[in-house]
């Protein structure tokens, strides 16, 4: 067995022994699907102005809205789930997923098959748009058709209010109900697995500490260091898409 297999085997043992497994994912799991991390070199911040992602700018500046529409259009149409997303779906199928908390807005966990009611989206989901006037929600596909016809910043068909991707912008707070549910699930789990998050974006990054405080074991699978590395039972510095399928293989072997 190589080093990665040994680590995968350790993670698999923890999964089998655990009664309630919570998985927490961040941008790192989706970079392998071609979605750039906002902060890495070549990431979105180098091509877009972070100012455009503030709620204030979005609602007051039409040019800024047009730029964002181009970005969201790209995010929502080109990416496919990768082996790490499918591995988490396998965990669910094996009855080993209590809940999946994600910082991502790309809908790739659901596209890989994880049911909506298992996914807690701390930062929303760009597959939906919400009218800031009447709160009506539109599927992105419907609005994308209007973008494709040349509209620069589609508005609400009913009240002509501003349509905003249903993702959390800077200057907006996290959806309280989702955050509370994430904290509650984390406080009750006995194994917490971080995949592809550097745990630096707050308040989302506080969530794993609720699991630690209530005595859960922690696994971290991430390419770079995180502030909680020292508290992890197993720490894997590798790509999620390489590690997670091996973990599932080991879980299946050990479960017989
Ligand atoms: Zn409206």
Distance 38 CA to ligand 1 centre (A): 30
Distance 68 CA to ligand 1 centre (A): 19
- Find the Cα–Cα–Cα–Cα dihedral 230, 100, 251, 1, rounded to 10°: -40
Structural domains in the chain, sorted by start: 1-35+79-123+174-256 (3.40.50.1220), 37-78+125-167 (3.30.1600.10)
Mean pLDDT of 187-209: 93
Label the pairing between strands 99-102 and 119-121: parallel
Distance 126 CA to ligand 1 centre (A): 17
Distance 133 CA to ligand 1 centre (A): 5
- Over the stretch 110-142, which tens digit does the pLDDT of each residue have? 999 999 999 999 998 888 899 999 999 999 888
Q: With beta carbons less than 8 A apart as the criterion, state whether 195 and 25 touch.
A: yes
Distance 132 CA to ligand 1 centre (A): 7
Q: Identify the H or E element spanning 140.
A: helix 140-148
Six-digit token string for 165: 């991707």
Residues 173, 157: Cα–Cα separation, whole Å: 27
25 backbone dihedrals φ, ψ, rounded to 5°: -120, 150
- Over the stretch 83-105, which tens digit does the pLDDT of each residue have? 999 999 999 999 999 999 999 98
Beta strand extents in the chain (DSSP E only): 21-25, 99-102, 119-121, 124-131, 137-139, 163-167, 191-195, 217-221, 234-236
Q: Provide the pLDDT for residue 144.
A: 85
Give yes or no: 123 in active site: yes
What residues does the ion ligand 1 have nearby, CB within 5 Å? 131, 133-134, 136, 156, 158-159, 161
What pTM was computed for the model? 0.89
- Over the stretch 51-81, which tens digit does the pLDDT of each residue have? 777 888 888 888 888 887 877 776 656 689 9
Which pLDDT band holds residue 48 (cuts at 50, 70, 90)?
A: low
Angstrom distances, CA of residue 119 to CA of 9, 79, 99, 105, 108: 26, 19, 6, 11, 11
How is 20-35 classified by DSSP, letter by letter?
A: SEEEEE-HHHHHTTTP
Distance 130 CA to ligand 1 centre (A): 8
Residues 208, 22: Cα–Cα separation, whole Å: 10
DSSP bridge partners of 155: 162
Q: Which residue in the list 85, 109, 123, 160 is annotated as catalytic?
A: 123
Mean pLDDT of 169-177: 85
Which pLDDT band holds residue 47 (cuts at 50, 70, 90)?
A: low
Q: With beta carbons less than 8 A apart as the criterion, state whether 99 and 191 touch.
A: no
Distance 129 CA to ligand 1 centre (A): 11
């Amino acid at each position: 067995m190589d080093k990665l297999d040994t680590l995968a085997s350790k993670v698999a043992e923890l999964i089998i022994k655990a009664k309630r497994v919570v998985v927490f994912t961040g941008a790192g799991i989706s970079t392998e699907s071609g979605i750039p991390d906002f902060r890495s070199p070549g990431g979105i911040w180098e091509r877009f102005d972070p100012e455009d992602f503030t709620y204030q700018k979005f609602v007051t500046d039409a040019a800024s809205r047009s730029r964002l529409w181009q970005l969201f259009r790209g995010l929502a149409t080109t990416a496919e789930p990768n082996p790490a997303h499918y591995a988490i779906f396998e965990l669910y199928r094996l009855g080993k997923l209590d809940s999946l908390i994600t910082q991502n807005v790309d809908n790739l966990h659901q596209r890989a098959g994880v049911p909506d009611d298992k996914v807690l989206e701390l930062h929303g989901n760009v597959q939906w748009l919400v009218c800031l006037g009447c709160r009506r929600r539109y599927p992105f596909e419907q609005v994308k058709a209007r973008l494709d016809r040349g509209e620069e910043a589609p508005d609400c068909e009913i009240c002509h209010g501003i349509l905003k991707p249903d993702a959390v912008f800077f200057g907006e707070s996290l959806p309280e109900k989702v955050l509370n549910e994430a904290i509650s699930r984390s406080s009750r789990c006995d194994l917490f697995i971080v995949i592809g998050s550097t745990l630096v974006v707050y308040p989302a990054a506080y969530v794993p500490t609720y699991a630690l405080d209530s005595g859960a074991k922690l696994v971290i699978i991430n390419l770079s260091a995180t502030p909680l590395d020292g508290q992890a039972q197993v720490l894997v510095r590798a790509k999620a898409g390489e590690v997670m399928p091996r973990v599932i293989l080991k879980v299946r072997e050990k479960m017989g």
